[in-house]
Structure 1
Amino acid sequence: MMKKLGIVILLIITACSNDSTNRNPYLQEIGFRFEANLNLPSYSPLSNTGSAIYIPSDLAGTRGVFVINSGFDQFRAFEGSCPNHVPSDCSTMELNGQTAICSCEDFEYSLFTGQLLNRPDDENRYYDMLEYNTTYSGGSVIIFN
């Protein structure tokens, strides 16, 4: 009896999946590590809460990375390529204050959350921005995947 119960429990455990993430089919998750020293002029805007910068693609990410100071020495970093298009000429987004805008269809994303702000009201699947890991140490923001 215990053997049968053990088999049933094993089958239930293996049949359930914890993988509830929906992988973005448009963006590959590449490995990189980039350090932005806030003492350098290019990255010094990140010293202020709410300020965001764009780091070009030759340094980080697929099409660059947007980084924002979200307050209390916390930083968020997102892929610079629009998550709702295969990387192309128009899919590299532009920084507009605290948002990133995709010129393909004027999709607008919050750099605080990565969410698509003007999500179309249709039956299609839309993705939020691909987020990268960040850590703050010694006056530098380290962005990595």
Structure 2
Amino acid sequence: MLDFFQQRFSYIHQLNLSWISHLTKDDSDIPWDIKVAISQLINAQHIAVCGILDLEIESDLNDVLPEMHWDSLERDNYKQWMNVFLQFNQGLQDNIEWLTPLLFKSLHETAQYIGQLKLLVAQHGMEELDETLLRVD
């Protein structure tokens, strides 16, 4: 079961990096509401993974993150998610029944934030990300 989630979180990571790259590829101003949406996408993942690993949460859901840190914060979140899967796959953590609902919740929230981001990009008449060309490691 954890392999299923690890694959999904790897895909989400690549999708988030693609969105970040897409939105920051030129020097044009990113509308405020899109900055909020990307920040919420990153912050929600940070809050979820910190809750699972019992780490200090460093940002609130509605904190607007500087664009220059989006990529590194996304990568940090992904490393933490891989720590979750490593710990549970190696048996360092017992009783994973409580983890499954939290992973589903995080996937659901991520889908909502990506949907919101897509809607905002369309409302601003910006070029949309072609997710069919997404590279997945």
Normalising by structure 2, report the TM-score: 0.29
Larger Cα Rg: Structure 1 or Structure 2?
A: 1
- Normalized per residue, the structure richer in strand is 1
